[in-house]
Structure 1
């Protein structure tokens, strides 16, 4: 694949789950007709509305973003949808040291 989109999907809340128990899925977006080897787990994400935060890809910036995202969303009247939060990494963003945190919101 020429250009890749990588998704990180945290499965647990680190505020309520011990670090050693936190799960995280690492994913690569593939075309519908891509043949997947049976040693790889394939899944689908449902669509919906997301608020996207583009942030510098450093430990400090990511920690700060996670601390500010939810208070910012709630202060602006958004309600979080019951879908996975996504960390999105595209080739051009990775090369520029950025990533996106995509938070699902209710319509």
Structure 2
């Protein structure tokens, strides 16, 4: 798994190359919740989806190339003031099967 660096800011974007694919992540605060938009090679995969702890973010039909998951203590809901203690990670394509099987 690859840790994705986030700032303690309510609205942020970053671009990162993962598994040979350009990803653009846009994270925004919306009424006490954190939302994420993910683009792969300039194609929007998800738009303004609520961030939850421990749940794969990208829908199944797109996750053959890897996926993102937010890790938090006690399954707390991700929130920008806790980024640093809460971590966004990328599960590589090679790690996906093991991750799905609980490993």
Question: TM-score surpassing 0.5?
Answer: no
Q: Which has the higher contact order (CA 8 A, sep 6+)?
A: 1
Query: What TM-score, normalized by structure 2, do the two folds share?
Result: 0.28
Bigger radius of gyration, 1 or 2? 1
Q: Higher strand proportion, which one?
A: 2
